[in-house]
Structure 1
Amino acid sequence: MLALTSIWTTILLAAAVALGPLATDMYLPALPQIGSDFGSGTSQVQLTLSLYMVGFAIAQLVVGPLADRFGRKPIMIGGFVLFALASIGCALASNIETLILCRFLQALGGSAGPVLGRAAIRDIYTPREAAKIMALLASIMALAPAVAPTIGGLMVAGLGWHSIFLALGGYALIMAVVVTFGIPEPMRPEYRQPLKLCSLLRNYRAIGTDISFLGYTLTNALIFSGLFAFLSGSSFVLIDFLEVPPQQFGLYFAGIVVGFVAGNLSAIRLGSRLVPDQILIRGLVIAVAAGSLMVALALAEVFSVWAVILPQALFMVGTGMVLPQTMAGAMANFPRMAGYASSLFGFAQMAVAAGAGMLVGYLHDGTSLVMATVIAICAVCSLSSYLLLVQRHPAPGFEPHAVSGQ
């Protein structure tokens, strides 16, 4: 077993958490082909992505309390096994309805990785340390979306979209073995919570009425929704509208990931001389500027790959700076209920993102305008949430100028 504070433990946690991005990013190049094979429209195919996020959101409300009762490892391992079985179901699906159902089941198992990865980081580190570790973890995780669309595009071209889900199932089984034998249980025994309905409701109420938690969570969910709006619409915009070959889709997507990694690394570097509040405002301003630029280019009918990729890469720089700070800030006040806090945080993040994704799918007009507009709106709303909630109610122990009772 590795030491909990080892860099290798962080890498393995990142690999476990990366299952979520892999389950969305790897099959993005396949969405047009799935629609063609099943004779389904854009909005129906997009449900395989949005309902995955809905299932992901709902499952997190259960995964966290279970992990606070039984520990992080057994719940994470069970989630990986369920994900693997559902992935096989996706590969064998013969119609769009079956694929949507299996994607929903896949989400129920896949939710364990991100929820318990965040909780484990909070188990191991202080709130300020957790912000840096989460930024490092996000940078490592970014390798998944950097290579996943390219691999997915090549698999679609050579083996068909079914092979993607078989590969995802295999990855989940490998991670179940790695977590079983490689990572110690990070949760302290004295922090275990009773699994009773009254306790569950009481804990969720305590977390959900904490203004500091709500501020960080809403700021995170809205900026993440801008990212998810791009994930939902990018394959239709780039492949269908701008005629990018599926096998090249991942190469352009890698540019987006470079922006995200740059934002993560900037957050790590700035963390030694700036407080989280200062990093947050910088990232949010960058995201708003990037979203506005993409909308302006679409309104001017500048329809090219780079008119989409360059503004989105800049948006991801801001997102990479914002996400680690808001994750750590939301978790800061709840060391004894990290699983609950991570669950509610993840539920809000995925529910809002699913709504943004569905909006892109239903309003898609065949160009990049709808996707760009949703991304810009999400960025502006995230900045507003920060100004109205986070600045007025920073988390004690995370922001140096915060005091208890705010």
Structure 2
Amino acid sequence: MAVLCALMGFASISTDFYLPAMPTIAQALHADAGAMELTIAGYLVGFSIGQLFWGPIGDRFGRKRPIGVGLVLFVIGSIGCATAGSPAIMIGLRLVQACGACSGVVLSRAMVRDLYGPERSGQMLSTLITVMAIAPLVGPFLGGQVLALAGWRAIFWLLVAIGVITGIGLATVPETLPVERRSAKGPGAALRDYALLLRDRRVLDCAMVGGFYYVGIYAYVAGSPFAFITVHHVSAQAYGMLFAGGIVAIMLANMTNVRLLPRLGTVRLMRIGAIASAGSGSLLALSAWTGWGGLWGLVLPCFIYVGASGLIVANSMARAMSHRPQQAGAVSALLGAAQYGSGMIGSGSLSFLADGTSRPMASVIALAGLAALLGVAINGAAQGRRG
């Protein structure tokens, strides 16, 4: 369980640790805010595309060896980022880092499905997400402390150490996919499987909800350092504390999800999460465009928006995998690619819309929340027709 939490946390630690340092890195590499936001977009390109390969590879060769290869790539990319001398080089190395990190994320979800089956996988995913939320909870705060004590490059050397330690931990974990349950399909067949999954309305509905929602999540991740630190003059250390508040909201929502799932079910809880994301995103946009509430007019709606992931992400993932249990790795990869690929849209759009205010971030988050709510409504309507 500890290793699974660490692997799932790679999606967060790879970005959250250096968020407080983004303005400092921009100054050191003579880059503007848009260029630094592209380091997140570049990471998401690698993370979304990489998952499409690691999923079928994990279904064919087991979970452990592909994760091990991915950790090596993560360490190489982190070393490169620690020594980067320009924004362009960092963007490319963030892509390498992401291609490695996503192997652990996508295949750890499949390992949960291997171990716990269709009935408990949603609850276990929520439990794991709650536990691994410690990483983004302390990540920005720890990154701010490392920045103050040793400079921004030390943050990436810390990621190198985390990758090595996780690899050592992986060696103690048994393989969860027996040989007799592995797929014998080659790359061409894997591509055909993705085409079939994309024609499965039940899987596609779940991918759509998570994808729309993640546009806003990564608009927040990319935009909040500049909205809070540059616009509202929050210190890097204080930014870490504010970011942690959103992670606490995620943890509380995931614990609520675990408790309510047996009674309310995945669809109803996804709907509640989507309503919360749409409402908080709209309030955030209102605050950003009118100046109402100042800093806290931005922070509190952001807390609610990111907390909604506790009701949206695990439920959409578990529901999709339950429809295709023999392709859990491929389904996990497809939904992960949809989520982080959509996140690329959210963070990438800010690099072009950046105007020195918090308005672009807030507007993108509001549109993403409304789109997620629309996706849940479409999902529910389709389920009703099938029923």
TM-score after normalising by structure 1 = 0.92
Could you say which residue in structure 2 is the equivalent of 1:88? Answer: 79
Q: Which residue of 111, 114, 118 maps to 2:105?
A: 114
Distance in 2 (CA, whole Å) between partners of 1:357 and 1:259 is 22
Q: Which residue of 207, 211, 214 maps to 1:217?
A: 207
Q: Which runs of 4+ in 1 moved over 6 A?
A: none
Any conservation in 1 of the 2:324–2:331 contact (CA below 8 Å)? yes
Alignment of 1:104-143 (within 5 A): 104-143=95-134
Of 85-94 and 190-199, the range deviating more from structure 2: 190-199
Matched, 1:315 2:302: no
Q: Which residue of 374, 380, 387 maps to 1:391?
A: 380
Matched, 1:12 2:9: no
Could you say which residue in structure 2 is the equivalent of 1:163? Answer: 154
- Give the CA deviation at 1:392: 3.5
Could you say which residue in structure 2 is the equivalent of 1:273? Answer: 263
Deviations along 1:213-245, one digit per CA (max 9) or x if unpaired, are 000111011112211110010001111110011
- Give the CA deviation at 1:27: 0.3
Alignment of 1:42-81 (within 5 A): 42-81=33-72
Could you say which residue in structure 1 is the equivalent of 2:25? Answer: 34
Q: Which residue of 232, 241, 250 maps to 2:231?
A: 241
Of 28-37 and 315-324, the range deviating more from structure 2: 315-324
Any conservation in 2 of the 1:89–1:102 contact (CA below 8 Å)? yes
Distance in 1 (CA, whole Å) between partners of 2:382 and 2:70 is 35
Percent pairwise identity: 33
- Give the CA deviation at 1:273: 1.5
- Give the CA deviation at 1:402: 9.6
Structure 2: which 5+ residue stretches go unaligned?
none
> Secondary structure of 2:331's partner?
helix
- Give the CA deviation at 1:211: 0.4
- Give the CA deviation at 1:195: 4.2
Distance in 2 (CA, whole Å) between partners of 1:159 and 1:195 is 48
Distance in 2 (CA, whole Å) between partners of 1:155 and 1:303 is 31
Could you say which residue in structure 2 is the equivalent of 1:23? Answer: 14
Count of equivalent residues: 387
Matched, 1:327 2:317: yes
Of 107-116 and 202-211, the range deviating more from structure 2: 202-211
- Give the CA deviation at 1:105: 0.6
Any conservation in 1 of the 2:287–2:294 contact (CA below 8 Å)? no
Could you say which residue in structure 1 is the equivalent of 2:346? Answer: 356
The letter for the 2-side match of 1:31 is: M
Distance in 1 (CA, whole Å) between partners of 2:77 and 2:143 is 18
Could you say which residue in structure 2 is the equivalent of 1:337? Answer: 327
| Closer/same/farther in 2, CA of residues 214 and 356 from structure 1, 3 Å limit | same
Could you say which residue in structure 1 is the equivalent of 2:292? Answer: 302
RMSD of aligned C-alpha atoms?
1.5
The structure carrying a bigger helix percent of its residues is: 2
Any conservation in 2 of the 1:123–1:188 contact (CA below 8 Å)? no
Q: Which residue of 100, 122, 126 maps to 2:91?
A: 100
| Closer/same/farther in 2, CA of residues 305 and 165 from structure 1, 3 Å limit | same
Q: Which residue of 215, 226, 241 maps to 2:216?
A: 226
TM-score after normalising by structure 2 = 0.97
| Closer/same/farther in 2, CA of residues 393 and 126 from structure 1, 3 Å limit | farther
Any conservation in 1 of the 2:210–2:338 contact (CA below 8 Å)? no
Q: Which residue of 155, 163, 169 maps to 1:178?
A: 169
Any conservation in 2 of the 1:263–1:316 contact (CA below 8 Å)? no
